[in-house]
Amino acid sequence: MTFLDIHSHILPAIDDGAKDMETALALLKMLKSQGVTDVIATPHFYPDEDNAEDFVIAVQNAYNNLKQELTGKDLPNVYLGCELRYFNGIGKSESINQFVIKGTNYLLVELPYGAAITDIVLQDIINIRERQGLIPILAHIERYSKVKGYKKLLKLISDGYALAHINAGGVASKEEAKCCEKLIKGGYVSYLASDTHSVHNRPPQFEEAFKVLTERLGKSVVNRFVYKSNQLLEEIEAANE
């Protein structure tokens, strides 16, 4: 079985994820032990803090170093993407094309924490799809369940303007498990991701999440997540051949 983790912070010394190569390799070992065969490295990019040109160069160098270190090791394949923080006008900015999952038109987007999901934000997400021709994947949507405008966000997802993922850690937690279950039942979730940052603080939790999902919703839900991840993996592999 193959399984793609679409959201991780495993690139060494880039963001608040893996602090060094040793941590990056340890995270990849943990991911492999939980059934992950392929993973997308998605370092944070904050438009109001980071310089895009410097970021792209640093990320590519870290990615190249990690790929070299993985040579001959039986660890998951790593692909390159980004977790792009939402900014006003994102749907009209051609600059966002440099942050897609490499070789595809998928863009992982993180919404601001605590801020209302306004009609402007929703229109921006629609514009990513309609004007830029990209497919936004909204990161860890379970985190915004108490934010004003959340129901409109779910409507936007159900209308096909964006895809979404939930975190395995959310499924495995007491605080967010029920929300994740409702999102899955409602058909709002396409992917399950680790969003892993470190071995101890935010480790991969696929094993726990798969167990919870199987017990509460049945094995078919896990199979569906595997199927969706493999669909995306096939596109990425074809683009990077």
The per-residue pLDDT for 152 is 98
Helix, strand, coil abundance in the chain, percent, nearest 5 = 45, 15, 40
- pLDDT-derived band at 1, boundaries 50, 70, 90: confident
The answer, yes or no, to whether residue 8 has pLDDT greater than 80, is yes
pLDDT over 70, % of the chain: 100
* Euclidean distance between CA atoms 48 and 37, whole angstroms: 34
The answer, yes or no, to whether residue 241 has pLDDT greater than 80, is no
The answer, yes or no, to whether residue 113 has pLDDT greater than 80, is yes
The answer, yes or no, to whether residue 93 has pLDDT greater than 90, is yes
The answer, yes or no, to whether residue 124 has pLDDT greater than 90, is yes
Q: pLDDT higher for 241 or 97?
A: 97
The answer, yes or no, to whether residue 169 has pLDDT greater than 90, is yes
The answer, yes or no, to whether residue 240 has pLDDT greater than 80, is no
Average pLDDT along the chain: 96
The per-residue pLDDT for 199 is 96
Q: Supply the range of the domain harboring residue 35.
A: 4-239
CATH classification at residue 72:
3.20.20.140
The answer, yes or no, to whether residue 206 has pLDDT greater than 80, is yes
Tokens of 220: 């078919």
pTM: 0.97
The per-residue pLDDT for 210 is 97
* Euclidean distance between CA atoms 30 and 34, whole angstroms: 6
H/E stretch holding 209: helix 206-217
179 with 143: CB under 8 angstroms? no
* Euclidean distance between CA atoms 24 and 220, whole angstroms: 31
Residue-wise pLDDT for 147-167, tens only, equals: 999 999 999 999 999 999 999
Domain tally for the chain? 1
The answer, yes or no, to whether residue 120 has pLDDT greater than 90, is yes
